[in-house]
């Protein structure tokens, strides 16, 4: 129907479609794959989603819960179907699809797993792995699957079971109004397609289909066979044969011809839980049970017309599942009305001020439950004594609009001549009968009455069975949840709404032995298979549980540790203090204690086990395991846990303090250092000497006070303890900012009684300890509660490098380069850095009289633009601890730009010229300066910028704009190009020349012809386009400059004036074909000789490729030029390609192309097999002659257009042809294609490895842009079936 309609486009829908099966939270297995989890609380099995098979899962679950379908399938044995083990044997007739369906159904019923896989079933369909990710329409699948089963079961006793269960017939009648002659035609169906657009319920849609008559009158008369003339007639349809199972397909997807786009009908569309089809049948004299149906499955679609997800609501007829109230159960209401009170409320009450109540009462009192619309006004006046216009028109408008706006209560029937209540549609007779023959839903409180639903939403919940009988479940791929019957009403409308309805006849009763018995009528071999799978899975689960519950414990023995700095430390680095023990966490603490006792034979006395943790300060204990009866899992012991084994009191005579409050903190204790050895912060060894800071890592208990820390450090009480101050004054910068001072906050005396935890000190924090005499030093200054420490730092420098300047990087002898570290800060000017480096390197005499500047060097050794020496280190963006190179040249000022430029072509490394210009200079002034530098004259020059791939890009058109206005940045490269800028409205087009390989020898010309060097200069910066078919590799012909108002004939004439084409013999422009290039590929042929270049959408810089023809050519707008290749019989190659012009103006279907090719090669169209070549992927896409798209009115099949998806045939495409009369090989792939695919795989692998390498270096992946994801081409759904006739 819709082909690959449901292609996901929204990320939210992708998640629910692709990952709906991963709902349950499970542990990750340590070794190997995790076994499938057992069934959930519902005791029903779901189906795994292969990526886009939710439509298949929903239909398979519906068929599984159709007991008559699955029992008919199970009744077929191996004698008729064969065995799956023999399917590979030549000549064996194994009916794979029904066998795989039997296995899947048996697994769903008997195997104890949360969800089963459909991979084997889809493999039997002939689907590859990519088919599992394509979404399709479930209505289309229903028909194709039934067709595949019919073909698979030919010649078996089950060949007609689909027909017996689902087949029905419709009789279409046309009655002549003159002679009464009746012309009838029967139509078979497996499912009924009912309209959604313009109707509000299933009953109304069926009424319009099978009760309403279509009149042929006026200009639309019917030719009666008996009268032999055009007459007035009435056309109608009736259900003649009703199947046991009625499938209703709702047409929720429509096409808006005004907007030319698909859309989904999301309006309210109700359907009953039970329905009587007697009013819609031709024969109505049978028992009511023959017409009564009850709903048992609703397939639901959530999403839009281009993407979404399917799931299904199913009634468990055989009561195989375990129903429980839904988790989101509504709170019970405190007051519930009795059924009598509800019925009284539902009776029509006359409220004269409410037009809805008045009209409802009028219609309800009529025997036929309907009123003629032209009599409704009179009946209204008789009822209330006033007309509609006087009483209601002012507030409610005309009565006709009022009825249409309340379509939830009323419906117009008989072409709008009658109005009836929604729950009481009239019967099919000429004069509507009484209530006894109404379309059955006798209970006015069922969901088929929308008015009752809105007024009393709690009635369904009250009336439905809750503890006995069959219940409803929501099967959403691998998830199965219980729902209430009232939840079905939520699927009447909205983005998530019903899509297919499945009804079963009410008289189909299930035998008592089938209830609660999943093995009912399942073959013995499938039961044994399921039992073996259950035994195997149970064994896997036990092994998995044993593996998954084994934890690795690190045991730390007390004799190997001592207490130091508030934490346990190993006594010696040579002695390993811990051992590893593997243990089952389901065992108890007592079992673990006993195991450790057995391993530690020399242990004496009590044994305590405490959970520990390795911290930066050392090992710390948290809690002791005292209850030997609890499991390790309950005790909080997990894998890689640390356990400390001790006596529970002390370690080496020291009492241990355990718990979170005593967790140790590792602090960096900082003290002044006057050149002593140790880890120093600051430069005791700096050029001018001076004090530094010495660091020492010490651990302390977190509950220790600051005073106790000072005492443990051996400091006197008058010593100051300071913490690093983060909010210092403006002049205190860190090392990277170039400052030389740091601030420390002094702890006040009150803080000496506070603990480290209370002071928020954590691991790695610095604690400065100062004795009073230290403040006398010039390095320490106290201002209130802040101590400023000024120390020269080794990280506040810039390295300046100087060496001989070599142009072009010659191979001469390398001389030694001189380097010096210059002390610098963020506020220091770069000119001072340069001057100090020159003095330190003693270069005054060597560079006397020459200008030098400072430049960075990138990782490839390329010199970057000079830094502005008028700025400070910070303002110029120069980072400290980096290297600057002292190079010859001037440094730009703050108002200037340093630019590179080259003449003619994109510059290579070291070939560009440098220039310094003002930012306010115009492009014309900048160009003149560049020409003066290189000694060129003339006005036929312009500037171009480089594009993102470092190639010559578009010209700079606005020559009067300043460089700053054009956002030309410092260090940018410009290209001086020869030629005048094209005036406004003119195009400059690059022209290439392609010759036919077959006629290449006939043409003798100089393709290296130049026009003052112009062609040679510009040919170097463009790569030749890629040509296919009979054309040789193209050559550059030059450029043309032409108005965009010129037509295609003018363009061809001007192209022929190029010097490179002077020797090419072209009688007229009709012998020339012009291609437009896109991305170095031939994109389209320009056609329409009188069309202007503007209408052809050509822009300046567009590439054109001209081709000489042997005959005149005048392509129409729908003509397609194809390269066709006939396959060599029995070989994996093709004959040389030929050009073929295919006229697709009238018919662009595969049949039209097949006919055109057959006429060209003088072959039969039915003997040709076609495929389109995909050169980018080196694959062939077979062009089928069969289309599945069927119009909704079933008039005719829609022709598939090859100009649209999925083939998109265009000029220059290659079409391969196989003649099946003499060639048995249907494969189009050649050896060259396989080699190309191998190259693509290697490129992908290299790209993947490159991406991983980039990721390891910290490169962030590219973020999602706001662009919408392109949709895949729609693919037709098909199931491959063998031949069994």
Which are the catalytic amino acids?
A: 54, 309
Task: Tell me if 1109 sits within 8 A of 1071, measured CB to CB.
Answer: yes
Q: State how far the Cα of 651 lies from the Cα of 644, in Å rounded to an integer.
A: 11
Cα 759 to chain centroid distance, Å, stands at: 49
Bridge partner list, 883: 799
Task: Tell me if 1093 sits within 8 A of 1048, measured CB to CB.
Answer: yes
Closest CA to 491 of 525, 437, 447: 447
Q: State how far the Cα of 589 lies from the Cα of 635, in Å rounded to an integer.
A: 8
Identify the H or E element spanning 188: strand 182-189
Task: Tell me if 361 sits within 8 A of 421, measured CB to CB.
Answer: no
Q: State how far the Cα of 299 lies from the Cα of 1103, in Å rounded to an integer.
A: 54
Helices then strands, each counted (H, E), the chain = 26, 58
Q: State how far the Cα of 180 lies from the Cα of 383, in Å rounded to an integer.
A: 41
Residue 281 CB neighbours (<10 A): 20
| Helix, strand, coil % over all residues of the chain, rounded to 5 | 25, 30, 50
Peptide bond into 47 cis (omega under 30): no
Q: State how far the Cα of 204 lies from the Cα of 106, in Å rounded to an integer.
A: 40
Phi, psi of 708 (to 5 degrees): -65, -35
Closest CA to 1110 of 1151, 1073, 1145: 1073
Bridge partner list, 885: 801, 855
Task: Tell me if 741 sits within 8 A of 731, measured CB to CB.
Answer: yes
3-class SS letters over 439-495: CCCCCCCCCCCHHHHHHCCCHHHHHCCCCCCCCEEEEECCEEEEECHHHHHHHHCCC
Q: State how far the Cα of 192 lies from the Cα of 186, in Å rounded to an integer.
A: 14
SS3 905: coil
Residue 1139, judged by CB atoms within 10 A of its CB (0-12, 13-18, 19+), counts as middle
Residue 1197 CB neighbours (<10 A): 12
SS3 1072: strand
One DSSP character per residue, 1162-1185 reads T--GGGEEEEEEETTTTEEEEE-S
Q: State how far the Cα of 61 lies from the Cα of 58, in Å rounded to an integer.
A: 5
Which pair of tokens denotes residue 609?
């086990």
Q: State how far the Cα of 423 lies from the Cα of 197, in Å rounded to an integer.
A: 19
Q: State how far the Cα of 1075 lies from the Cα of 1123, in Å rounded to an integer.
A: 15
Nearest-Å Rg of the Cα atoms of the chain is: 44
Identify the H or E element spanning 737: none
Q: Kindly list the distances between the CA atom of residue 706 and the CA atoms of 693, 715, 763, in Å, as whole numbers in the listed order.
A: 21, 12, 15
Which pair of tokens denotes residue 666?
């590792």
Q: State how far the Cα of 824 lies from the Cα of 794, in Å rounded to an integer.
A: 10
User: For strand 115-116 and strand 46-47, is the pairing parallel, antiparallel, or unpaired?
Assistant: parallel
Q: State how far the Cα of 1007 lies from the Cα of 1035, in Å rounded to an integer.
A: 7
Task: Tell me if 469 sits within 8 A of 441, measured CB to CB.
Answer: no
């Amino acid at each position: 129907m819709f082909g690959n309609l449901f292609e996901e486009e929204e990320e939210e829908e992708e998640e629910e479609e692709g990952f709906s099966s991963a709902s349950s939270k499970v542990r990750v297995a340590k070794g190997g794959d995790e076994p499938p989890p057992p069934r959930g609380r519902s005791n029903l099995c779901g189906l795994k989603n292969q990526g886009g098979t939710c439509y298949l899962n929903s239909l398979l679950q519906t068929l599984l819960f159709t007991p008559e379908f699955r029992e008919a399938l199970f009744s077929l044995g191996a004698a008729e179907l064969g065995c799956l083990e023999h399917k590979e044997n030549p000549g064996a007739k194994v009916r794979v699809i029904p066998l795989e369906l039997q296995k899947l159904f048996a697994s769903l019923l008997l195997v104890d797993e949360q969800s089963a896989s459909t991979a084997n079933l889809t493999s039997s369909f002939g689907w590859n792995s990519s088919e599992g990710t394509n979404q399709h329409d479930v209505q289309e699948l229903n028909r194709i699957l039934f067709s595949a089963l019919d073909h698979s079961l030919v010649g078996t006793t089950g060949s007609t079971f689909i027909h017996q269960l689902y087949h029905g017939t419709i009789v279409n009648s046309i009655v002549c109004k003159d002679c009464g002659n009746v012309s009838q035609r029967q139509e078979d169906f497996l499912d009924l397609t009912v309209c959604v657009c313009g109707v509000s319920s299933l009953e109304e849609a069926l009424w319009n289909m099978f009760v309403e008559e279509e009149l042929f009158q006026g200009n639309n008369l019917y030719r009666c066979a008996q009268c032999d003339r055009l007459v007035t007639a009435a056309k109608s349809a009736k259900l003649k044969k009703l199947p046991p199972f009625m499938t209703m397909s709702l047409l929720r997807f429509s096409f808006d011809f005004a907007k030319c786009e698909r859309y989904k009908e999301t309006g309210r569309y109700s359907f009953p839980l039970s329905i009587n089809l007697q009013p819609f049948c031709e024969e109505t004299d049978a028992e009511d049970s023959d017409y009564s149906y009850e709903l048992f499955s609703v397939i639901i679609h959530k999403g839009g017309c281009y993407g979404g997800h399917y799931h299904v609501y199913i009634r468990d007829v055989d009561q195989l599942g375990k129903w429980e109230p839904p988790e989101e159960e509504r709170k019970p209401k405190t007051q519930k009305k009795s059924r009598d009170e509800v019925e009284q409320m539902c009776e029509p009450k006359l409220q004269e001020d409410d037009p809805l109540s008045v009209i409802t009462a009028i219609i309800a009192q009529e025997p036929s439950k309907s009123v003629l619309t032209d009599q409704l006004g009179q009946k209204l006046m008789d009822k209330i004594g006033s007309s509609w216009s006087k009483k209601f028109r002012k507030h409610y408008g005309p009565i006709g609009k009022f009825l249409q706006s309340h379509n939830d209560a009323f419906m117009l029937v008989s072409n709008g001549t009658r109005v009836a209540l929604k729950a009481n549609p009239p019967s099919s007779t000429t004069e509507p009968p009484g209530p006894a023959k109404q379309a059955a839903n006798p209970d006015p409180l069922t969901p088929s009455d929308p008015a009752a639903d809105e007024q009393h939403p709690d009635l369904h919940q009250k009336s439905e069975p809750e503890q006995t009988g069959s219940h409803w479940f929501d099967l959403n791929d691998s998830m199965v949840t219980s729902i209430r019957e009232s939840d079905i009403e939520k699927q009447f409308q909205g983005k998530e709404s019903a899509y297919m309805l499945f009804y079963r006849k009410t008289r189909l009763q299930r035998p008592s032995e089938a209830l609660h018995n999943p093995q009912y009528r399942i073959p013995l071999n499938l039961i044994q298979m399921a039992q073996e799978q259950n035994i195997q899975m149970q064994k896997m689960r036990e092994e998995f549980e044993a593996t998954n519950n084994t934890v690795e414990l690190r045991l730390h023995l007390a004799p190997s540790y001592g207490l130091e700095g508030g934490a346990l430390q190993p006594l010696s680095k040579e002695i390993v203090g811990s051992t590893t023990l593997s243990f089952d966490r389901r065992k108890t603490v007592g079992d673990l204690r006993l195991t450790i006792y057995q391993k530690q034979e020399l242990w004496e006395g009590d044994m305590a086990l405490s959970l520990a943790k390795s911290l930066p300060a050392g090992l710390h204990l948290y809690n002791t395991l005292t209850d030997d009866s609890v499991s390790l899992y309950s005790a909080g012991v997990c894998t890689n846990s640390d356990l400390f084994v001790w006596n529970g009191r002390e370690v080496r005579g020291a009492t241990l303090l355990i718990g979170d409050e005593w967790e140790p903190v590792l602090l960096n204790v900082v003290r002044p250092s006057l050149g002593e050895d140790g880890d120093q912060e600051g430069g005791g060894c700096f050029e001018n000497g001076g004090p530094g800071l010495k660091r020492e890592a010490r651990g302390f208990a977190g509950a220790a006070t600051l005073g106790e820390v000072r005492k443990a450090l051996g400091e006197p009480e008058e010593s100051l303890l300071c913490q690093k101050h983060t909010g210092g004054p403006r002049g205190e910068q860190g090392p990277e900012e170039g400052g030389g001072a740091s601030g420390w906050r002094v702890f006040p005396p009150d803080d000496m009684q506070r603990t480290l935890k209370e002071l928020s000190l954590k691991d790695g924090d610095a604690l400065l300890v100062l004795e009073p005499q230290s403040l006398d030093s010039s390095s320490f200054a106290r201002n209130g509660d802040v101590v400023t420490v000024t120390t020269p730092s080794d990280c506040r420098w810039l390295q300046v490098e100087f060496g001989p300047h070599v142009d072009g990087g010659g191979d001469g002898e390398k001389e030694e380069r001189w380097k010096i570290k210059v002390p610098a800060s963020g506020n220091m000017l770069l000119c001072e850095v340069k001057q100090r480096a020159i003095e330190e390197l003693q270069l005054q005499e060597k560079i006397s009289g020459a200008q030098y500047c400072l430049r960075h060097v990138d990782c490839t050794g390329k010199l970057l633009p000079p830094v502005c020496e008028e700025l400070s280190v910070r303002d110029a963006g120069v980072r400290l601890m980096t290297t600057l190179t002292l190079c010859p040249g001037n440094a730009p000022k703050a108002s200037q730009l340093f630019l590179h430029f080259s003449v003619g072509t994109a510059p290579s490394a070291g070939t560009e010229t440098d220039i310094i210009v003002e930012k306010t200079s115009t492009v014309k002034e900048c160009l003149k300066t560049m020409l003066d530098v290189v000694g060129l004259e003339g006005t036929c020059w312009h500037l171009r910028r480089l594009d993102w791939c470092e190639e010559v890009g578009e010209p700079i058109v606005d020559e009067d704009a300043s460089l700053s206005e054009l956002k030309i940045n410092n260090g940018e490269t410009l290209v001086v190009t020869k030629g005048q800028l094209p005036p406004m409205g003119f195009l400059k087009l690059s022209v290439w020349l392609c010759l036919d390989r077959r006629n290449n020898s006939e043409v003798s010309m100089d393709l290296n012809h130049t026009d003052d060097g112009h062609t040679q200069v510009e040919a170097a910066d463009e790569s030749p386009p890629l040509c296919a078919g009979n054309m040789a590799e193209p050559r550059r012909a030059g450029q043309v400059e032409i108005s965009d108002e010129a037509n295609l004939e003018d363009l061809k004439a001007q192209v022929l004036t190029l010097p490179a084409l002077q020797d090419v013999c072209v009688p007229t422009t009709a012998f020339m074909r012009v291609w437009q290039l896109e991305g170095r590929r031939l994109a389209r042929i320009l056609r329409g000789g009188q069309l202007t270049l503007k209408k052809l959408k050509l822009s300046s810089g567009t590439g054109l490729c001209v081709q000489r023809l042997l005959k005149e050519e005048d392509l129409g707008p729908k003509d397609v030029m194809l390269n066709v290749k006939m396959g060599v019989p029995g070989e994996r190659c093709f004959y040389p390609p030929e050009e073929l012009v295919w006229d697709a103006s009238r018919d662009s279907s595969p049949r039209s192309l097949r006919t055109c090719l057959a006429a060209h090669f003088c072959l039969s169209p039915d003997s040709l097999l076609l495929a389109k070549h995909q050169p980018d992927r080196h694959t062939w896409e077979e062009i089928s002659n069969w289309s599945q798209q069927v119009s909704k009115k079933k008039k005719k099949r829609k022709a598939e257009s090859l100009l649209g998806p999925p083939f998109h045939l265009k000029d220059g495409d290659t079409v391969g042809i196989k003649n099946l009369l003499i060639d048995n090989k249907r494969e189009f792939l050649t050896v060259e294609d396989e080699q190309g695919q191998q190259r693509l795989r290697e490129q992908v692998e290299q790209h993947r490895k490159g991406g991983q390498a980039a990721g390891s270096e910290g490169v962030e992946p590219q973020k999602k842009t706001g662009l919408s994801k392109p949709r895949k081409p729609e693919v037709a759904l098909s199931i491959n079936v063998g031949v069994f006739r």
